[in-house]
């Protein structure tokens, strides 16, 4: 399946065999805990990638249960804010433009780990290729396909010669090159670069779009930092079942911890491969929903925990439709009457449904903030 003029992503997990530690498979040594991925060249599958439980890996779980009905965006009152109400669109920013210098920072990966990960990827590709070779006598389902089956128009003798060359190669890099050269010799682009996957992480995290929200509409510091020193507003996005902010594919709660998460390449990633028209080789890349990438995207240091942040995100930064209905607008403690009237008018002129307007007041204790119905 080659695409003309555009890129398509196809999951690599069309065929998987879990190998016991330190096993030799068809004469090729495989390290402990490897998964064999069929590198889909002859037949493509559009099956959704699933998460496989590997006893040697660690999976991360996020708690995304809503215990409230609204998420809030703190804003200064300016033209960009009124455009949200007029156009019903929001801007999802690049991580580099946010105020946390550690935002979505990619932890340093040692050269040793990078090389080990690349060899692991090569072993997956080599094993996947061998699993498609018609070299089995039919007794062992793990040893390739049955002899005599079609294999890129090659005869049984040619298949045996190719298999012997792969088996006798001393290391995984030589095995990979033999297979890659074979695929190119029959007119295919070859296999993806085993280094593509790690290289794609930086690009993914640099270009993701983030729209920061808070579950707390009465946070003293949030009003000070993000709402024009209490002169701005907080826009309430309703949590309803068919909105993006209620879908954890698009919106998740930020986790706060003392140390930022690290990347372990040897755990493995949820990945896809992009195929191109012409002679360009396929490109392997990490999916944005990979657990390790999600940890980087949704983890901040503990010094930011006062924000009680949730993040609506898209794979690419830019302008998007509002992620949910706007059903509430809260005016800051020092928001002027003129600004309040301006926001109320623009809301009434652009939304058919009722929007609740509230105003921040100081609580009876003299130090907390309360949100009460605005006196319109």
Domain limits for position 239: 70-104+208-254+298-373
Q: Is pLDDT above 60 for 47?
A: no
Q: Is pLDDT above 90 for 147?
A: no
The stretch 132-152 carries a mean pLDDT of 74
pLDDT, the chain, mean: 78
Degrees to nearest 5, angle at CA 24 with 32 and 121: 55
Q: Is pLDDT above 50 for 12?
A: no
Q: How confident is the model at residue 140 (pLDDT cuts 50, 70, 90)?
A: low
Judge whether 263 lies within some domain. Answer: no
Q: Which residues contact 313 (CB under 8 A, 6 or more apart)?
A: 92, 208, 209, 210, 211, 250, 251, 252, 297
Classify 124 as helix, strand or coil: helix
Distance of CA 267 to CAs 54, 59, 118, 270, 373, Å?
Answer: 9, 9, 12, 10, 51
pLDDT recorded at residue 52? 33
The verdict on 184 and 333 lying in the same domain is no
Token readout for 329 is 């607008």
The stretch 327-338 carries a mean pLDDT of 97
φ and ψ of 337, to 5 deg: -60, -40
Task: Please give the tally of structural domains in the chain.
Answer: 2
Contacts of range 177-186, beta carbons closer than 8 Å, 24 or more positions apart = 179/125, 179/126, 179/129, 183/41, 186/152, 186/153
The stretch 133-152 carries a mean pLDDT of 73
The verdict on 322 and 235 lying in the same domain is yes
Q: How confident is the model at residue 61 (pLDDT cuts 50, 70, 90)?
A: very low
The stretch 285-303 carries a mean pLDDT of 84
pLDDT recorded at residue 293? 83
Judge whether 259 lies within some domain. Answer: no
- Partnered with residue 145 across adjacent β-strands are 134
The stretch 264-293 carries a mean pLDDT of 64
Q: Is pLDDT above 90 for 358?
A: yes
The verdict on 214 and 303 lying in the same domain is yes
The verdict on 131 and 25 lying in the same domain is yes
The verdict on 26 and 121 lying in the same domain is yes
Query: Which of 14, 48, 13, 55 lies closest to 32 in space, CA to CA?
Result: 55
Token readout for 33 is 């805990």
Judge whether 230 lies within some domain. Answer: yes
Q: Is pLDDT above 70 for 143?
A: no
The verdict on 328 and 362 lying in the same domain is yes
The verdict on 83 and 191 lying in the same domain is no
The verdict on 96 and 111 lying in the same domain is no
Residue pLDDT, tens place only, 219-256: 999 999 999 999 999 999 998 878 999 998 899 999 99
Judge whether 154 lies within some domain. Answer: yes
> Could you tell me which residue, 200 or 347, shows the higher pLDDT?
347
The stretch 309-319 carries a mean pLDDT of 95
The stretch 187-202 carries a mean pLDDT of 79
pLDDT recorded at residue 219? 96
> Could you tell me which residue, 186 or 337, shows the higher pLDDT?
337
- Give me the residue label for tokens 């729209």: 211
Q: How confident is the model at residue 353 (pLDDT cuts 50, 70, 90)?
A: very high
| pTM of the complete model beyond 0.85 | no
pLDDT recorded at residue 67? 54
The verdict on 193 and 324 lying in the same domain is no
The verdict on 96 and 116 lying in the same domain is no
pLDDT recorded at residue 11? 30
Judge whether 292 lies within some domain. Answer: no
Classify 142 as helix, strand or coil: coil
Judge whether 136 lies within some domain. Answer: yes
Query: Which of 115, 122, 131, 145 lies closest to 34 in space, CA to CA?
Result: 122
The verdict on 99 and 116 lying in the same domain is no
% the chain with pLDDT above 90? 45
pLDDT recorded at residue 202? 80
The verdict on 163 and 192 lying in the same domain is yes
pLDDT recorded at residue 76? 97
Judge whether 262 lies within some domain. Answer: no
Judge whether 60 lies within some domain. Answer: no
Whether residue 358 contacts residue 328, with contact meaning beta carbons closer than 8 Å, is answered with yes
């Amino acid at each position: 399946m080659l695409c003309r003029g555009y890129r398509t992503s196809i999951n690599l997990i069309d065929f998987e065999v879990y190998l016991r530690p330190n096993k030799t498979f068809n004469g090729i040594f495989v390290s402990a805990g490897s998964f064999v991925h069929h590198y889909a060249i002859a037949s493509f599958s559009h099956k959704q990638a699933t998460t496989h439980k590997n006893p040697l890996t660690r999976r991360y779980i996020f708690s995304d249960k809503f215990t409230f009905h609204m998420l809030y965006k703190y804003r200064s009152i300016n033209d960009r804010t009124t455009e949200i109400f007029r156009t019903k669109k929001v801007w999802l920013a690049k991580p580099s433009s946010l105020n946390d210098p550690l935002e979505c920072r990619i932890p340093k990966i040692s050269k040793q780990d990078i090389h080990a990960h690349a060899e692991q990827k090569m072993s997956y590709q080599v094993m996947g290729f061998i699993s498609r070779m018609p070299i089995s006598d039919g007794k062992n389902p793990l040893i390739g396909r049955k002899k005599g089956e079609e294999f890129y128009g090659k005869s049984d003798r040619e298949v045996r010669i190719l298999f012997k060359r792969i088996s006798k190669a001393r290391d995984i890099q030589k095995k990979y090159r033999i297979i890659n050269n074979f695929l190119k010799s029959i007119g295919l682009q070859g296999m993806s670069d085993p280094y593509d996957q790690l290289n794609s992480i930086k690009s993914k995290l640099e270009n993701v779009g983030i729209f920061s929200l808070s579950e707390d509409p009465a946070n003293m510091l949030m009003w000070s930092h993000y709402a024009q020193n209490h002169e701005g507003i907080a826009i309430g996005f309703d949590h309803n079942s068919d909105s993006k902010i209620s879908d954890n594919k698009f919106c998740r709660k930020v986790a706060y911890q003392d140390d930022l998460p690290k990347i372990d390449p040897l755990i493995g990633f949820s990945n896809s491969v992009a195929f191109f028209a012409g002679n360009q080789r396929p490109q392997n890349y990490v999916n944005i929903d990979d657990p390790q990438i999600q940890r980087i995207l949704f983890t901040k240091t503990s010094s930011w925990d006062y924000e009680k942040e949730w993040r609506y995100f898209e794979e690419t930064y830019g302008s998007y439709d509002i992620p949910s209905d706007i059903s509430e607008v809260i005016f800051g403690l020092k928001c002027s009457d003129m600004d309040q009237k301006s926001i109320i008018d623009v809301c009434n002129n652009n939304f058919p449904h009722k929007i609740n307007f509230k105003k921040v007041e100081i609580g009876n204790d003299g130090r907390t903030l309360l949100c009460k119905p605005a006196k319109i």
